[in-house]
């Protein structure tokens, strides 16, 4: 049975997870076996070699291109571009029990099947790649090898945002970024510039998508933002919270980046955008009560509240609505932003820094939501992902799947199609995100 961090702390089991496991011989055999089966030796298991690195192409005429030695991401010849979102994979839960590795095996099957079915041109992994508090510090990053293997094997370009479960004493966002860059040749994930994102929030960057591979400027920008959150050990080796909102430094960086884009590529109205952040912005909580399920369809099984969005009143020891500076910068600076896409997962109890006094209790969040709604103040659409992985909390009737976005050059700056594809192949909740959506 899966236990929350609070439950395992009460059982005195935390140190066993962060350093030397109890029942070491049995536990480590299971871990080595599981990671060996699905990790670095995964290609050999399938009897096929890992794909070659994507062909390099030196960009010309685009000084801002952050990937001068990687293949440019671009629309197909028919003017279409499809992006699929894997969310809340939660690899690495309870590797000492049979059901933990079995969950990961099922998640790999879902990922492979969705890639075959959707045939995406690009994939976004939108947070909680790993359940960090269930991992062992010595080998936790090997899970990155495992969870990226379907993408590298099928030569699918992708990029990752990171979630609250990706920050723990046993693993961090930065460690996952560095491992992904090392082992996944089709990854476009980058680290934010120095000083941007705050501790635990290094995953802020953008990926350009070109109409044609040889175009001097991109037509679509994919933004990835780091909502931080999770746990760390403070100077006294006590558990402490990491702030659960996009850091203010990202707002300044975003303003500078968009200004540079406009100077190099012309007015921002000529480009479209899509943004990914794991923990939803606080404003999303206010959209749920008034949402019209006919005009804005999608499963709505988790009530948003404490800890379900960034910087809520009861979960941030630093105060509430601390995500507003970045939210304001995002909605005022990035033009033609079709949607801000989020996931989220189980919130561990939060503690005041340096104390063992809980501020909240463990709750389940957001895996049961998969709708899109428009903020009436900023007119910005916000969407939930579809829970993809077999890790993380769920209910039998929720199922697993992906959210997909279909772009077309003819309508790129005005609309995008999106839907949820279930594990059984059925497509549900298909909508057009345009100026009339939700009206």
> What stretches of 239-358 adopt beta strand conformation (E)?
239-241, 272-277, 337-342
Contact 77, 332 (CB under 8 A): no
Closest by CA to 300, choosing from 238, 383, 239, is 383
Closest by CA to 82, choosing from 417, 312, 377, 313, is 417
Tell the residue number behind the tokens 């507003």, with chain if given: 324
176-196 b/e with 16+ CB inside 10 Å = b? Answer: bbbbbeebbbbbbbbbbeeeb
pLDDT at position 358: 40
Half-sphere exposure of 106 (CA within 13 A, CB side): 17
pLDDT at position 386: 94
> What stretches of 89-169 adopt beta strand conformation (E)?
122-126, 158-161
Token pair belonging to 187: 């990854």
Residues of the chain with confidence (pLDDT) below 70 = 1-61, 305-307, 310, 313-319, 344-368, 393-394
CA distance 246 to 192: 12
β-bridge pairing 158-161 and 122-126: parallel
CA distance 250 to 177: 18
Burial class (CB in 10 A: 0-12, 13-18, 19+), 199: middle
Name which CATH class applies to 5-433: alpha beta
pLDDT digits 0-9 by tens, 108-144: 999 999 999 999 999 999 989 898 888 888 888 999 9
């Amino acid at each position: 049975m899966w236990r929350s961090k609070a439950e395992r702390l009460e059982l005195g089991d935390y140190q066993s997870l962060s350093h030397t496991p109890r029942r070491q011989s049995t536990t480590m055999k299971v871990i080595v076996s599981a990671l060996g089966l699905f990790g670095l030796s995964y290609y050999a298991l399938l009897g096929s070699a890992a794909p070659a690195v994507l062909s390099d192409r030196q960009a010309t005429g685009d000084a801002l291109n952050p990937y001068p030695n990687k293949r440019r991401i671009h629309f197909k010849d028919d003017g279409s571009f499809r992006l699929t979102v894997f969310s809340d994979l939660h690899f690495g839960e309870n590797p000492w029990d049979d059901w933990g590795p079995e969950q990961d095996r099922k998640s790999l099957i879902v990922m492979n099947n969705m890639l075959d079915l959707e045939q995406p041109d690009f994939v976004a992994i939108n947070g909680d790649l790993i359940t960090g508090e269930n991992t062992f510090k010595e080998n936790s990053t090997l899970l990155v090898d495992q969870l990226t293997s379907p993408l590298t094997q099928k030569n699918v370009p992708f990029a990752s945002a990171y979630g609250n479960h990706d920050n723990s004493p046993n693993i961090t966002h930065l460690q996952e970024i560095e491992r992904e860059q090392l082992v996944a040749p089709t990854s476009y994930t980058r680290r934010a510039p120095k000083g941007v994102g705050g501790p635990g929030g290094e995953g802020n960057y953008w990926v350009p998508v070109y109409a044609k591979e040889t175009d001097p400027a991109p037509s679509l920008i994919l933004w990835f933002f780091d909502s931080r959150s999770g746990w760390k050990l403070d100077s006294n080796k006590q558990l402490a919270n990491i702030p659960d909102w996009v850091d203010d430094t990202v707002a300044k960086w975003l303003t500078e980046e968009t200004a540079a884009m406009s100077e190099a590529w012309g007015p921002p109205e000529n480009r479209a955008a899509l943004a990914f952040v794991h923990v939803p912005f606080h404003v999303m909580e206010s959209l749920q009560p008034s949402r019209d399920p006919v005009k804005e369809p999608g499963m709505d099984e988790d009530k948003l509240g404490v800890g379900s969005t960034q910087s809520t009143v009861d979960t941030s020891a630093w105060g509430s609505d601390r995500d507003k500076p970045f939210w304001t910068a995002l909605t005022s600076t990035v033009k033609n932003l079709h949607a801000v896409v989020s996931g989220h997962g189980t919130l561990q109890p939060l503690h005041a820094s340096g104390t063992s006094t809980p501020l909240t209790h463990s709750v389940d969040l957001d895996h049961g939501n998969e709708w899109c709604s428009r903020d009436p103040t900023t007119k910005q659409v916000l969407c939930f992902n579809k829970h993809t992985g077999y890790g993380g909390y769920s209910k039998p009737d929720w199922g697993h799947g992906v959210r997909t976005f279909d772009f077309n050059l003819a309508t790129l700056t005005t609309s995008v199609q999106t839907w949820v594809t279930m594990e059984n192949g059925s497509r549900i909740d298909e909508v057009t995100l345009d100026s009339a959506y939700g009206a």
